[in-house]
Amino acid sequence: MFAAAALGLVAAGPALLAKYFWAMRIDLLTLPLFAAAAIVLRFGALARSCRCGFAR
């Protein structure tokens, strides 16, 4: 969801908000969303590979 939101903001944001997209710096909101998606994917992959019984 985070990655889709970041991609949606970057792809559709300039078309919908025109010049205000860059004035309001909405593109900077996509960095934390992308980072959150990367963290979720990383720890999700670690949890699936863990054989300690918590990820079952």
Domain boundaries, the chain: 2-49
Mean pLDDT of 35-50: 76
Rounded percentage of the chain residues whose pLDDT exceeds 70 = 79
53 pLDDT higher than 60: no
In this prediction, residue 26 carries a pLDDT of 76
State the Cα–Cα distance between residues 33 and 22, nearest whole angstrom.
18
CA dihedral for 44, 45, 48, 54, sign (positive or negative): negative
| CA-angle at 16, arms to 10 and 19, nearest 5° | 85
47 pLDDT higher than 70: no
**Biggest CA-to-CA distance, the chain:** 51
49 pLDDT higher than 70: no
| Three-class DSSP category at 21 | helix
